[in-house]
A and B are shown apart, each in its own frame.
Chain A
Amino acid sequence: MSTVSISTPAVTAPNSHGRRLFRKRLPAAMALLPTALVVLVVYIGCMVWTVRLSFTSSTLLPKLDWVGMTQYTRLFANDRFVTSAENIVIFGILFIAGCLILGFLLAVFIDQNVRAEGIFRTVFLYPYAMSFVVTGVAWQWFLNPGLGLQKVVRDLGFESFTFDWIVSQDMAIYTIVIAGLWHGSGLTMAILLAGLRGVDEDLWKAAKVDGIPTWRVYTSIVLPLLRPMVVTATVLLATGVVKLYDLVVAMTMGGPGIATEVPAKFVMDHLFERNNIALGTAAATIMLICVVSILAPWVYARYVRPQGRHA
């Protein structure tokens, strides 16, 4: 689509003026051509292909037959997928809410004119520089019930202390949340802190003259101002949720059992290990639909509605 419209001026330019304009813009259009091809072939083409495959009976190799919704019926009857879906909802809600709350608190506390601010900032953000694989491996080791945190506390004399979530069917997903919070809340902190620092200083002075307590200034005056940063952070965290894969692979391999399976892993496993392309692509399509339905209101709020108001 885009490539077509980029080259339209050449075809339709009706007069010398238009043609001259086009000649000048030709290098620009040429420079954008590779990106346009990528968008067309990868972002649109591959997406359509994946959706199409989800309606086939492909297993090891892609077929182009049509089996209707069969794969989707199969998908929602699949324990592994249902668990994956539940897990991603649990993880998504706790991870996003946790990061926002923790990030906001950390940002506010750092904003209190504290000593060694730079050190705190550095410490809170460094996990974000590390890969999910590193994060997963580190936390797996730390939470190892036999040798990790549980043993340390027991050795201190609390013999009955138990923290074996990582090997527990019910609790393992929460250890992924903890590792995720460790990895991502520094980012939220950094984004919100930048927002806090951008608040007009006069506003703080006015509130001080008015005698408004500091916590009230944060909740009633500053927080509303931070809304764009909160939205940015949320969108960023949400994309991280959907892409959640490496962390699970490194930390629990989806286990114990299927306790920490997630949709991205379900797709990867079915595409590349279990040779069930149709089921894998059907799961991928469900992921796509979820992302689009989350994204749509944001795009609407951000790009469609403001234009409407200015007009």
Chain B
Amino acid sequence: MGAVSVRDVTVAFEAFRVFDGLNLDIEEGEFIVLLGPSGCGKSTLLNAIAGLLDVASGQIWIGGKNVTWEEPKDRGIAMVFQSYALYPRMSVRENMSFGLRMAKTPKMEIEKRVKHAAELLQITHLLDRRPDQLSGGQRQRVAIGRALVRDAAVFLFDEPLSNLDAKLRNELRVEIKRLHARLGKTTMVYVTHDQIEAMTLADRIVVMKEQKVQQIGTPDEIYRRPSNLFVAGFVGSPQMNFIKGRIEYNDHIPEFVIGQRRLPLSDYLFHDGRPAAQDVILGVRPEHLDIVNDGTWADFTIDIVEPMGADTVLWCSDREGSLQIRTNGSRKAAPGHRLSLTVDAAQVSLFAAETGERL
């Protein structure tokens, strides 16, 4: 039994039903990221776990207890919000202790917890300030602090970094990861639309789209073996290259065929043995295209060169279409140059053209 378990849950807004019978099990101490574009239902799911939203059917279990009908405060959770949601006109200290005071926690205990949380987040010097005297980053630290003092077993984060600028976002991201490591057994459920946050923070990522779970897996699985076209396209920047073609058999060996170009697939791990000859989409990450002198795929022309420092992205094309290639930043390249490429069949993904599912 996991720390959080979502069983067969449906949420209904009026007549509109969201995720019909969704299941999700989260282990104790795990860092789960719910990733997806806006409107995919990730925040709805988080709110349902928190008890801020009634489920229409199904159950929610937290820490081995059925909490489907419990009030949010009784679920053993703490939550951090995108807009910080700090109580205005209360000092940082009051913000952090308000919930505990409402629960009639002894004064000494409150003081101890606030002190501990403040030290952990390095906001001790801010304790007597008011939220409007704090920067965005400081506010979010306080919001995390307010969650910390609740001593909850499960932390819920609703896009906590989306209101911050890029630099602060990176800083706090590391901070959250460090916090998770320090707290040890605390389970964290984190909602974001930012794939970098998802990849860097998560033990497991739940990719969602249109109220449906697309794939659950470790960041590595999500990145290397995306289960469908959506996941493949949503995760990774620059985006995965998609090439429409066919699977054909040549001497009993499956090959990906597009025009004159071929890619033998003997190294590819098919889901179920040998698929039938069919239309497919080949997905290749830009870094899995190697530029070589006499590659199997020749005659590409460089259109655009995007130097990004550590590496360079080349946009190149042939008669059939265009590809992005991520290559070492030190490579000299200029538009108009000709390229020849090789593709490692073990690193690609193949999706059925009809369903978009991984083969």
Contact = CB atoms under 8 A, between A and B. Distances in A.
Interface of A: 200, 202-203, 205-213, 216, 220-221, 224-225
A198 to B, nearest CB: 13
A209 B87 CA distance: 13
Contacts, number: 66
Residue from the set A206, A208, A212, A224 with the largest chain B CB neighbour count within 10 Å: A206
Contacts of A213: 102
A205 B102 contact: no
A202 B82 contact: yes
Contact of B102 (A202, A216, A224): A216
B99 A210 contact: yes
Given A202-B81, A202-B82, A205-B81, A211 B73 contact: yes
Nearest to B78: A209
B339 to A, nearest CB: 50
A209 B102 contact: no
A239 to B, nearest CB: 28
Nearest to A208: B72
A207 B89 CA distance: 15
Given A208-B51, A209-B77, 20 more contacts: A200-B85, A202-B85, A202-B158, A203-B83, A205-B50, A205-B72, A206-B81, A206-B87, A206-B146, A208-B52, A208-B73, A209-B52, A209-B72, A209-B78, A209-B79, A209-B99, A210-B73, A212-B102, A213-B102, A220-B90
Contacts of B83: 200, 202-203
Nearest to A217: B87
Nearest to A206: B85
8 contacts: A200-B83, A202-B81, A203-B87, A205-B52, A205-B85, A210-B73, A211-B103, A224-B89
B239 interface: no
B297 interface: no
B89 A210 contact: no
Contacts of B99: 209-212
Interface of B: 47, 50-52, 71-74, 77-79, 81-85, 87-90, 98-99, 102-103, 143, 146, 150, 158
A224 B89 CA distance: 7
Contacts of B146: 206, 210
A224 B88 contact: yes
A194 B78 CA distance: 29
Contacts of B74: 211
Contact of B87 (A205, A208, A220): A220
Nearest 10 Cβ contacts at the A-B interface:
A211-B73, A210-B99, A202-B85, A202-B81, A206-B85, A224-B89, A209-B79, A203-B85, A209-B72, A202-B83
A225 B88 contact: yes
A205 B73 CA distance: 10
Contacts of B47: 205
A206 B102 contact: no
Nearest to A225: B88
B31 to A, nearest CB: 19
Contacts of B50: 205, 209
A116 B84 CA distance: 33
B43 to A, nearest CB: 11
Contacts of B150: 209-210
